[in-house]
Structures are given as C-alpha cells and as structure tokens.
C-alpha cells in the first residue's frame, strides 16, 4: 500500500509538470537549500554503438576533470554521487563504481572503453540458436573473471542497475542502498551484470544469502534509460540525500548510445530484435523529454542528455561506420539535441561542448563541498542487517523471497 501511494504521488507530480509546465516560483520547502547539488550519472543500454558512445563520453568527462583539477589520478566515481545503468550501461556503472585494490575503482574510464570495445557487441546482441548460442554465453565468464566475489556492498557510491523479473512481472532494481540495509538484496556483481544484459533466455539470479530469487530479463526491456529511476531514488531517499528537495538540487548527466540503425530485415520488416531496440529507444526518448520538461528553466545548467542522432549526419561510407569507435567519435562531435515534451527538439552546442560545460559544473560542486560543513550526501555503510529497508527509495524493486 505504501509503494502504491508513493507511485501515485510520483505520477501526480509528473502529471502536473507535463500539463502546467515548470513551477517558476516553487514553495519554500522545494527551493534550492543552498547546500549543494547531488550529482547523478545515468547510462543507457545498448544502442547503435553497443556502449561505446557512453564509455567514450565518460572518458571525455574524466579527462576534462583531470585537466581542470590538476589531478592525473582523478576517477569519474570521485565526482558523482549516484550512478544508474541499464544493459551495457549497467556493466559500465559496475566497472567504474566498484571498489578495487587500495579502495580505488576497479576500472578507469580508459580501461572501461577497452572493455566495452572487446565485449559490448556480444552483450547487446540477441540470443541465437544452435552453435551460436554458446558464443553468447562467453560474457558470463567475463563477468566472473572481472568481479570475482564482489557484491553490491562493494560499490563506492549509490548504484542502481535494473532488470526485468519474470517472477513478479515487474522491473527489479539492484541497489546498493538496499544491499547495505538488507542481506536479501545483496547480489554478486557478476550476477547483476548477467541479469541486466541477458538478451536470450531468462537467467535465474539468487541473492548472496539465497533468500531472494529472480528470473531476470535484460534491463533494456525494464528501463533502457534509467534516469527517471535515479532521480526518483534521490528525491525520496531522505536518509542519504536529506537536503535534496527538487530538480534544482540536482546535476544530471544522461548518456545514450546512439539511435539504432539497420532495424529491418531484407524484406523491410523489423526483426524481433529490432522491435525491442525500437521500443527501448522510444522509451528512452520519452524519459529524456519528460525529465527535461521537469527541469524546466534549470535544464540548461542541471540536466544534459548526450545521444548520437543518426539523422544529423550523412553516412556515406558504411565501412567507416562499421567501426563503433569511429561512429561514437563522430556522434560526440554532433550538435547536441535538446528535447522538451510537447515542444519538439532543437540543436545547440555539440555533445563535446556540453560535456565540457557539465564537467566544470561537477568539479565546481566538488570544490564547494570542501568548504561546506553540511554534507550533501550521507552514504550508508555496509551492515549485515536482515531487517526491512528504511532509507532506500528504489520503489520499482520488488523482493520475491523463496
């Protein structure tokens, strides 16, 4: 009943934003408190570049931050408070925000680009029959080698990675906040990555304590663009984000992976895989437009969407764009497309210029916190409690205990 009430309240807020526009004179309790902004990184599932565009966008962000901070060892996880990723985006999130040796992230942005280049295409394709089916099981072994026994509790910041649970017929969001408060919500990261990327047969996933079992289908099916879920988590999690009252208190970077191309079979009919991609990208665009509308006047300084648009360049050399790295580089050079629900799309500065601007805004927030006595984020520490959750706001997660 509590979840239903919360869902009703969320949709009521969204409906008001859609119908009546942005509230230019927010109530005192919703005004920016001046304590700072929560920084959110959201990463889509596979698109035209199978994760390469998002990975390269993150590398560009990290490179700019290292340059302006003067710290050659700065990591992207140092400058974001929350990361949400779906499909290959979930894998990228796990690589960048999981604790490795000496407390540093498991992967740098550069290493993540290499990982995606080697594995992204396998992770984003649909299941095949016969001998090819065995080929697409290889990534599971890659995840086991990469993450070993690491679990959600070993992540550095708030991490949200969705899949779709066939047991409950609803999205399931793997969440660090859930894991540290309830052992039944802690999963091995190799299992989490398997769950969010599986595009063939459903995968049975069990929590570390064996109490929670789900039958997982790809996070791309559940929510290809997890930005709205991340924002909801922050706004309703007052224990971790006590001073975040509205979008004015957020800095959000949402990364797409390029609009998919070649969606039809030889007879011009979309394949089943193509239909899944079409639905995923359509939902991603809707989420982008809705979030942009909700930010209103704050969207230019508080929200950015980086997404390659196949309609903005003429692909004259198909062989050139068979290389996803080249395609991603060209997408970063495209003019950024700003979408606002009911107001269409418009082009402005390039994706690279947008990333440069937001990298500086993110760094400014980091510098501001050095002189502030009020913490903007209160990250929960690992516990072994099996009691009910108290601070997590992962409202789409549904626990199905055996």
Catalytic site positions: 86
Report the distance separating Cα 159 and Cα 150, nearest Å: 14
Evaluate whether 92 touches 51 at the Cβ level (below 8 Å).
yes
Sign of CA dihedral 79, 85, 89, 93: positive
Instruction: Please list the residues that pair with 73 across neighbouring strands.
Output: none
254 token code pair: 């949402």
Residue 37's nearest CA partner among 366, 391, 381, 394 is 366
Report the distance separating Cα 75 and Cα 78, nearest Å: 5
Buried b (16+ CB within 10 A) or exposed e, 44-69: bbbbbbbbbbbbbbbbbbbebbbebb
**Nearest 5°: CA angle at 383, between 380 and 387?**
100
Report the distance separating Cα 86 and Cα 171, nearest Å: 11
Residue 24's nearest CA partner among 284, 247, 275 is 247
116 token code pair: 């995606």
Report the distance separating Cα 249 and Cα 235, nearest Å: 9
Q: Write the DSSP assignment of 18-57 as a string of letters.
A: HHH---SS--GGGS--SS--EEEEEE----TTTTHHHHHH
Report the distance separating Cα 52 and Cα 54, nearest Å: 6
């Amino acid at each position: 009943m509590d979840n239903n009430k919360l869902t009703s309240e969320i949709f009521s807020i969204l409906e008001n934003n859609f119908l009546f526009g942005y509230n230019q004179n927010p109530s005192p309790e919703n005004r920016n408190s001046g304590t700072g902004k929560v920084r959110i990184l959201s990463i889509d599932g596979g698109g035209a570049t199978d994760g390469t565009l998002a990975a390269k966008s993150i590398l560009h962000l990290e490179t700019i931050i290292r340059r302006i901070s003067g710290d050659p060892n700065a990591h992207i996880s140092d400058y974001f408070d929350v990361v949400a990723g779906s499909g290959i985006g979930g894998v990228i999130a796990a690589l960048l925000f999981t604790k490795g040796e000496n407390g540093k992230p498991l992967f740098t942005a550069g290493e993540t680009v290499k990982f995606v280049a080697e594995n992204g295409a396998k992770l984003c394709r649909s299941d095949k029959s016969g001998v090819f089916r065995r080929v697409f099981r290889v990534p599971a072994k890659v995840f086991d080698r990469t993450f070993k026994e690491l679990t959600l509790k070993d992540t550095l910041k708030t991490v949200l990675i969705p899949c779709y649970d066939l047991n409950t017929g609803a999205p399931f969001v793997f969440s660090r906040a859930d894991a540290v408060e309830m052992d039944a919500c802690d999963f091995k990261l190799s299992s989490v990555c398997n769950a969010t990327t599986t595009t063939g047969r459903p995968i049975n996933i069990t929590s570390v304590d064996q109490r929670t079992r789900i039958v997982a289908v790809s996070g791309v099916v559940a929510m290809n663009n997890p930005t709205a879920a991340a924002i909801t988590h922050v706004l309703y999690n007052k224990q971790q984000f006590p001073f975040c009252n509205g979008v004015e208190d957020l800095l959000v970077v949402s990364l797409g992976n390029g609009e998919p191309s070649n969606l039809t079979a030889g007879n011009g009919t979309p394949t089943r895989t193509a239909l899944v991609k079409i639905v995923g990208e359509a939902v991603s665009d809707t989420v982008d437009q809705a979030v942009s509308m909700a930010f209103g006047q704050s969207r230019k300084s508080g929200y950015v969407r980086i997404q390659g648009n196949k309609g903005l360049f003429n692909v004259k050399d198909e062989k050139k764009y068979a290389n996803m790295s080249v395609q991603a580089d060209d997408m970063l050079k495209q003019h950024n497309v700003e979408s606002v629900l009911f107001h269409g799309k418009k082009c402005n500065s390039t994706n690279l210029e947008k990333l440069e601007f937001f990298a500086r805004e993110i760094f400014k927030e980091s510098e501001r916190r050095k002189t502030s006595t009020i913490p903007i984020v209160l990250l929960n520490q690992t516990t072994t409690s099996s009691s009910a959750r108290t601070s997590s706001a992962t409202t789409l997660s549904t626990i199905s205990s055996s």
